[in-house]
């Protein structure tokens, strides 16, 4: 059976301007756009040193102000690609011209209140805006989504995200000042992905906590259970502080259905941002064995081609749905908020 593993490109790609010239732009946005032959015309960052460095590395025009970037974007009818920390998003969106097309790095603001404000700005300014929840657009997840749509997996009964690895948090210094870290910045990808497969859960139980070895970061570990009713078990077990070497590391998502099952290895996370290959395995049916699916690429950078392609194709009428629109991403932010509320509320005391 042929399975889809990439998102179609826009037939007439628009030029792109990038706001923010930090780690993720260098590690994923630019490699993806180069690979897809997207035309990035220039970028801006409040830190001029970073702008100059990144512009030189990728042979781009550097702007000295947001206003300069915006006027260039207007002349070229460019798409805006925001890749700043979440605290900067609202201020930037307020300046972006009414009716523009915008991709915004996740998370959609610092918390749910911020997400509401971002959604209101996007509505008020009539922006065609999506959040860069790109895991859904990785080759692995497009394969799994295709399996689900072709009824290979059948009704999903069990979905588990399991991480046990060492994440180099020092690559993200801005996280040190944030009160919400692990779920808001990392596991948010899994919550968004789970929503893409199962929709919104009825509720959640969660605990998110730090670790003695990474005291500068508010939380680095999470356990969560999502309530999808009596037929589906859905859980996340996330430990970013496993420091005992490569043995017994894991970064897996298992989706088990009535007919079949899928297992995804998130190789990227095992040696971030260089990464090991991502993998997808399908268990076709009882009586057979697990089969490794061949595909090219992985989460980084191919998934970043997908979010930009879906946005541009939606803006031009080629795609019917904008899958990670701010309207949809708002629900992922709501789920994240519920996890923090649950974690704060605490446990059920032992019965006496
Ligand atoms: N897989 C993913 O989706 C993924 C991975 C890593 C980071 N991210 C997200 O990308 C965002 C940026 O992360 P990063 O690792 O590149 O951080 P970074 O600190 O390396 O880069 C952020 C850049 O934004 C710039 N900036 C801040 N405020 C600005 C403003 N008002 N205008 C213009 N530039 C501004 C900073 O000077 C900095 O250069 C974060 O929100 C993070 O959560 C997403």
- Residue 192 and residue 249 in one domain: yes
Does residue 3 sit within a domain?
no
Which of 17, 18, 21, 24 to probe ligand 1 with, by most ligand atoms within 8 A of CB?
A: 24
User: Has residue 67 got a pLDDT over 80?
Assistant: yes
Count of CA atoms in the C-beta half-sphere (13 A) of 196: 26
Summarised one tens digit per residue, pLDDT across range 76-127 is: 999 999 999 999 999 999 999 999 999 999 999 999 999 999 999 999 999 9
DSSP annotation of 100: -
- Residue 44 and residue 98 in one domain: yes
* 8 SS3 class: coil
- Residue 44 and residue 172 in one domain: no
- Indicate if the alpha-carbon torsion angle 196, 198, 200, 203 is positive or negative: negative
What is the span of the domain harbouring residue 244? 136-296
- Residue 128 and residue 144 in one domain: no
261-265 and 250-257 beta bridge pairing: antiparallel
Does residue 66 sit within a domain?
yes
Please report which confidence band the pLDDT of residue 235 belongs to, taking 50, 70 and 90 as the band edges: very high
Does residue 9 sit within a domain?
no
User: Has residue 284 got a pLDDT over 80?
Assistant: yes
Alpha-carbon span 177 to 216, nearest angstrom: 8
Distance from the alpha carbon of residue 190 to the mean position of ligand 1, in angstroms? 20
The closest residue, in CA terms, to atom 25 on ligand 1 is 20
User: What pLDDT does residue 173 have?
Assistant: 83
Does residue 218 sit within a domain?
yes
Alpha-carbon span 19 to 62, nearest angstrom: 10
User: What pLDDT does residue 177 have?
Assistant: 81
- Mean of pLDDT values over 143-148: 96
Summarised one tens digit per residue, pLDDT across range 241-273 is: 999 998 999 999 999 999 999 999 999 899 877
Q: Which atom of ligand 1 is nearest to the CA of 26?
A: 16
User: What pLDDT does residue 271 have?
Assistant: 82
- Residue 188 and residue 261 in one domain: yes
User: What pLDDT does residue 346 have?
Assistant: 96
Pocket (CB within 6 angstroms of ligand 1): 19-25, 44-47, 50, 83-86, 88, 91-92, 105-106, 132, 134, 172, 174, 185
- Residue 253 and residue 131 in one domain: no
Say which CATH number the domain at 60 has.
3.40.50.720
Which of 17, 18, 19, 23 to probe ligand 1 with, by most ligand atoms within 8 A of CB?
A: 23
Q: Which atom of ligand 1 is nearest to the CA of 185?
A: 43
- Mean of pLDDT values over 188-204: 98
Given 277, 296, 315, which residue is the final one in a domain? 296
Tokens of 302: 């191919």
Does residue 96 sit within a domain?
yes
In the block, which residue shows the tokens 């595909």? 295
In the block, which residue shows the tokens 């356990």? 223
Beta bridge partners of residue 305, listed in sequence order:
none
DSSP 171-230: G-GGGGG-S--IIIIIIHHHHHHHHHHH---SEEEEEEE--GGGTTSS--EEEEEEE--T
Number of domains in the chain: 2
- Residue 169 and residue 129 in one domain: no
- Residue 211 and residue 156 in one domain: yes
User: What pLDDT does residue 219 have?
Assistant: 97
39 contact partners, CB below 8 Å, separation of at least 6: 13, 15, 16
- Residue 258 and residue 150 in one domain: yes
- Residue 161 and residue 285 in one domain: yes
Summarised one tens digit per residue, pLDDT across range 19-29 is: 999 999 999 99
Say which CATH number the domain at 150 has.
3.30.360.10
Sheet holding 101-105, edge to edge: 61-62, 40-44, 16-19, 79-82, 101-105, 128-132
First-last CA distance in the chain: 56
User: Has residue 350 got a pLDDT over 90?
Assistant: yes
């Amino acid at each position: 059976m042929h399975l889809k593993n990439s998102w179609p490109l826009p037939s007439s790609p628009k030029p792109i301007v990038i706001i923010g010239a930090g780690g993720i732009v260098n590690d994923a946005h630019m490699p993806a756009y180069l690979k897809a032959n997207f035309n990035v015309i220039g970028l801006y960052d409040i830190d001029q040193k970073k702008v100059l460095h990144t512009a030189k590395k990728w042979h781009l025009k550097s702007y000295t102000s947001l206003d300069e970037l915006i006027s260039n974007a207007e002349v070229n009818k460019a798409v805006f690609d925001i890749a700043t920390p979440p605290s900067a998003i609202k201020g930037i969106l307020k300046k972006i011209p009414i009716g523009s097309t915008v991709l915004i790095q996740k998370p959609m603001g610092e918390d749910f209140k911020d997400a509401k404000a971002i959604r209101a700005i996007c509505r008020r300014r009539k922006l065609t805006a999506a959040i860069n929840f790109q895991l859904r657009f990785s080759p692995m997840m497009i394969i799994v989504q295709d399996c689900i749509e072709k009824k290979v997996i059948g009704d999903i009964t069990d979905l588990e995200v399991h991480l046990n690895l060492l994440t180099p948090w020092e690559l993200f210094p801005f996280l040190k000042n944030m009160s919400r870290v692990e779920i808001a910045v990392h596991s948010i990808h899994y919550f968004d992905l789970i929503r893409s497969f199962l929709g919104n859960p009825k509720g959640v139980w969660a605990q998110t906590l730090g670790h003695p070895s990474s005291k500068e970061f508010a939380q680095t570990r999470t356990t969560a259970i999502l309530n999808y009713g009596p037929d589906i078990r859905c859980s996340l077990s996330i430990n970013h502080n496993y420091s005992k070497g490569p043995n017994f590391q894991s970064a897996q998502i298992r989706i088990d259905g009535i007919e079949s099952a899928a297992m995804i290895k998130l190789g990227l996370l095992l040696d971030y941002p260089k990464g090991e290959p991502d993998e997808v395995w399908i268990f076709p049916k009882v009586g057979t064995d697990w089969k490794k699916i061949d595909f090219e690429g992985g989460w980084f950078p191919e998934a970043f081609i997908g979010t930009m392609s879906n946005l541009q194709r939606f803006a031009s009428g080629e795609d019917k749905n904008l899958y990670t629109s701010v309207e949809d991403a708002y629900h992922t932010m709501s789920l994240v908020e519920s996890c923090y509320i649950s974690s704060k509320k605490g446990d059920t005391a032992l019965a006496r």
